[in-house]
């Protein structure tokens, strides 16, 4: 009976990898300032989560998901600010001390779930591309800028783009946290 353990384990590992289907977020830092000292405030300016795909523009269900993911992304930025002991301000004019302006731009490509499920091997691939930009409110100088790309190429029932988005946002904020 022991000779059946290896095939079972292999089958279990393959099943789990297919169900997950979420690619790793690849983060590239374009601008990294040496100093964030003296900044007491963060103003989260724009958080945009959208899809450029034609099929998403007229799909009310997908548009609702995009709005929800925008709320999620803003909440994650606010959570980071609180954990980092920054004061979140609505405008830099109300802030006492130096302020960082944060901008997050997220493009979601749904791809084609049916192709991912039926064919696999990259057919119908979806993904998330995001850019986090942090500027000095007084000078407009970019203090930090990073891109994160994540792919969805397979997975159970065609994969879960929401899981990909959440991993992408987390990786991007973790990169900023480490800056």
Q: Mind giving me the DSSP string for 95-115?
A: -SSEEEEEEEEEEEE---HHH
Q: Whole domain around residue 114: which residue ranges?
A: 2-177
Give how many domains the chain has, as a whole number: 1
3-state helix, strand, coil in the chain (%, to 5): 40, 30, 25
Tell me the whole-structure pTM to 2 decimals.
0.77
Tell me the two tokens of residue 75: 């909440």
More confident residue, 119 or 139: 139
CA angle 55, 61, 67 (to 5 degrees): 100
Domain with residue 167: its CATH number is 3.30.160
Q: How confident is the model at residue 6 (pLDDT cuts 50, 70, 90)?
A: low
- Average pLDDT in the chain: 79
Instruction: Specify the pairing of strand 98-109 against strand 126-136.
Output: antiparallel
pLDDT at position 14? 47
Q: How confident is the model at residue 110 (pLDDT cuts 50, 70, 90)?
A: confident
> Which of 36, 24, 45 shows the shortest CA–CA distance to 172?
24
């Amino acid at each position: 009976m022991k000779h059946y353990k290896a095939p079972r384990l292999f089958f279990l590992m393959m099943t789990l990898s297919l169900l997950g289907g979420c690619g790793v977020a690849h983060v590239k830092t374009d601008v990294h300032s040496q100093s964030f000292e003296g900044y007491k405030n963060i103003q989260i300016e724009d958080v945009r989560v959208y899809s450029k795909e034609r099929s998403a523009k007229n799909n009310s269900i997908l548009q609702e998901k995009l709005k929800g993911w925008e709320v999620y992304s803003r909440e994650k930025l606010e959570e980071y600010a609180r954990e980092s002991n920054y004061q979140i301000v609505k405008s830099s004019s109300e802030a006492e001390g130096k302020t960082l302006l944060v901008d997050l731009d997220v493009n979601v490509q749904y791809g084609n779930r049916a192709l991912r499920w039926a064919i696999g091997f990259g057919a119908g691939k979806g993904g998330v591309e995001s850019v986090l930009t942090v500027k000095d409110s007084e000078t407009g100088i970019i203090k930090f800028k990073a891109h994160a790309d994540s792919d969805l190429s397979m997975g159970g029932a065609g994969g879960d783009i929401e899981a990909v988005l959440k991993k992408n946002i987390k990786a991007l904020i973790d990169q900023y946290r480490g800056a």
